[in-house]
Amino acid sequence: MEKLKAASKNILRRRDCDRLLILLELLRARHDHPDAQTCHRLIQKEVPNIGLSTVYRHLAALVDNGLINEIKTDDGPARYDAAVQSHGHFMCTACGRLTDLMPITVKADYPGQIRSFVFLAKGTCHACLKK
């Protein structure tokens, strides 16, 4: 019985690990900075029975380990990005499109050494301006 418990624990852990990797691959394959619900919809194609709370948990684990970045947008859900090199973002507040701005150089006199920075520009994208 104990053995069975230990084995099932391992299976659970391996399953979690597989899902984590699937989620990471999925994020690395796209550049549209999906939110958690979109990630959930996408991963369901490969893992049909995965719950939204599991997706949130896995996203948090990937962020904690520095494998993905979380972009907090204030007026919407957080977005996720597998590109972890320093770059800024432009967000269209009309359609929610989030695009990369690279490279961004900030010249300022900092009282120390910078490890990461957050830059989020908000506005209206070309497509929405034409509407």
Name the nearest CA neighbour of 36 among 88, 65, 71, 66. Answer: 71
List the alpha helices (DSSP H) in the chain.
2-28, 36-43, 52-64, 126-129
Interacting stretch for Zn ion, rule CB under 5 A, among 6-14, 18-26, 86-94, 105-113?
A: 86-94
Q: Which of 24, 26, 63, 125 forms a contact with Zn ion (CB under 5 A)?
A: 125
Residues in contact with Zn ion, counted by CB under 5 A, come to a total of 9
Q: Give the residue with the Cβ less far from Zn ion, 47 or 128.
A: 128
Pick between residue 7 and residue 119 the one whose CB is nearest to Zn ion.
119
Q: x/- site string to Zn ion, residues 95 to 124, per CB under 5 A? A: x-x--x------------------------
Pairing assessment for the beta strands 88-92 and 98-101 based on DSSP bridges: antiparallel
Two structure tokens written together for 84: 């972890």
Q: Which residues pair with 100 in a beta bridge?
A: 89
Report the interface residues with Zn ion, using CB under 5 A. 81, 83, 92, 94-95, 97, 100, 125, 128
